[in-house]
Amino acid sequence: MSQFNFVSDLQNALIMDGETRGPAPRWKKKLEASLSGSINTTRSVLSVSYNTSFSGVQAPTKTPGKSSEGKTKKSTTTPTKTPGGGDRFIPNRAATNFELAHFLVNKDSGDKSDEENEKATSSNSNESNVQASAHKGERQKLISEVAQVGDSKGGRILCYQNKAPAAPETHNNPLKVVYSIKTPISTKSGSRYIPTTSERILDAPDFINDYYLNLMDWSADNIVAVALGSCVYLWNAQTGNIEQLTEFEEGDYAGSLSWIQEGQILAIGNSTGAVELWDCSKVKRLRVMDGHSARVGSLAWNSFLVSSGSRDGTIVHHDVRAREHKLSTLAGHTQEVCGLKWSTDFKYLASGGNDNLVNVWSAASGGVGTATDPLYKFNDHQAAVRALAWCPWQPSTLASGGGTADRCIKFWNVNNGTLIKSVDSKSQVCALLFSRHYKELISAHGFANNQLTIWKYPTMVKQADLTGHTSRVLQMAMSPDGSTVISAGADETLRLWNCFAPDPLASKKAVSASKAKQSVFRQSIR
């Protein structure tokens, strides 16, 4: 048969008008290339995955003939370009790690061979398989660390654009604060909104700009007493009525004001060294108590006992019930006593003076007055101490604030006489008050910002600054319900701040909790 095939081929070659056998046409070559392309799976998968990742459309396959659809409908869309501006089909050699790409390409075949080997050795024990897989994982991890390729699972075989260059060390990104700043305290869950502007402003002409005087107080009946010049005025915070209580003779003035805990009895310490008691409901002076040789700049009530501090450096306890009112005299300061406060449980009396001392006096064993010698003497302040406040939920904790040369707020434990904490407030501390609704502290300051600052206790993290005064804030007093603070500044204004308003949700929870707690007897009866 072979000879016949040879003869037929020879005859065909000799025939000149027959079909010549030369190079194949171009369309035939492209057809053969497209058919043979399905064999090379690696190239086809790469091209399709890359094309679909950017355009979402598979590349059309060409056919040798012209279809009818090609005549009637033409493609008007053009392939999109990459952000880098280059051709999306051309990888970037500089950004591609060819060693890692080769490893990833050959990884599948290696994994398949490993699977076959594992199937062949499936008769071995489970323990040996676990140990082998563990050793294999450790080996791959070590190889990745040495080669510095990171996680090969998420690695790319080809890269089409360069990575962004790293910023220099001296570069400051202005938008970094958007991603790195902590959530403000006022927006955190569990925090509260604190208004930083005053709710109301009152004029206080002729308010004496003296750091050592205490010229304002707020009573339990919601009446504010304030000394302006030689006069003492009463302002009803509920009705807004203003009434003049008294006016001193020319040259005399009020140096301190203090309301009794319950009632409308007001104690006024004047510049002559006397303490006057006034019944404000009747606008009547009840009595005058002497005992000092200089002006009285501080007063503090303890039930029927009123303590007065003077420029002569002494503290006098007055029993307002007795004819002989003077109980005892305390001589613990060498200069003017400008701060005086009884603790919330009335077991201790704190005094601050211009001699930079803070003295703590324990109550007398009989319950009237105090011991003649101070229980503790704190001399850590570097300036006069006028701002004093006792913690309402920790009666043994005392807060004290120093003047311009000190600027510190210090906390003392009067049980053992130790310093708990000291915070630099950056400005003169004129007054301190603890909140009754929150574990917070508010302080009044002088130059340079003349602000009121609310601190979180005991961390002493600043919560808010209340600004508005144009001169130093000399006095502070709290409303009977503990929600509002009134401040008096050297700019001759009184400002009311609603900074401690109770949380309505918390009050509702407290009411619901109280309703939920029923008596044991009622539960047993039901």
User: How far is Cα 209 from Cα 473, in angstroms, rounded to an integer?
Assistant: 10
* Cis peptide upstream of residue 33 (ω within 30 degrees of 0): no
Question: Would you state the pLDDT for residue 523?
Answer: 46
Backbone φ, ψ for residue 79 (5° rounding):
-65, 140
The pLDDT of residue 56: 43
From the first residue on, what is the mean pLDDT of each consecutive set of 10 residues in the chain (526 residues)?
A: 69 60 71 65 42 44 48 50 55 73 70 52 55 71 64 62 71 62 41 89 95 96 96 95 94 96 94 96 95 96 94 95 92 95 94 96 81 93 96 95 96 95 95 95 94 94 94 96 96 95 71 54 45
CB 433 within 8 A of CB 478: yes
**Are the C-beta atoms of 15 and 21 separated by less than 8 Å?**
no
pLDDT for 79 = 53
For residue 29, report the phi and psi dihedrals to the nearest 5 degrees. Answer: -65, -45
- Which two tokens mark 9? 């081929």
Determine the pLDDT at residue 215.
Answer: 96
pLDDT of amino acid 57: 44
The pLDDT, as a whole number, for residue 129 is 62
Q: Which residue has the tokens 């398989």?
A: 129
Classified as helix, coil or strand, 435 is coil
Identity of the amino acid at 365:
S
Q: What does each C-alpha distance from 82 to 51, 58, 305 come to in angstroms?
A: 12, 17, 86
Over residues 323-346, the pLDDT tens digits come to: 999 999 999 999 999 999 999 999
> What is the structure's pLDDT at 333?
96
Cα(337)–Cα(397) distance, rounded to whole angstroms? 21
- pLDDT recorded at residue 155: 62
- The pTM for the full model equals 0.62
- Whole-angstrom CA distances from 114 to 107, 110, 225, 297 are 10, 6, 92, 93
In this predicted structure, what is the pLDDT of residue 110?
Answer: 58
**Distance (Å, whole) CA 370 – CA 253:** 29
Q: What ranges in 286-337 are assigned the alpha helix state H?
A: none
pLDDT value at position 423? Answer: 96
| Orientation of helix 98-105 relative to helix 107-120, angle to 10° | 40
pLDDT at 44: 41
pLDDT for 436: 92
Q: For residues 250 and 312, what is the distance between their CA atoms, to the nearest angstrom?
A: 22
Q: DSSP letter at 459? A: T
Q: For residues 158 and 101, give the distance between their C-alpha atoms in angstroms, rounded to a whole number.
A: 7
CATH number, domain 209-331, options 3.90.1150.10, 2.130.10.10, 1.10.10.10, 1.10.20.140? 2.130.10.10
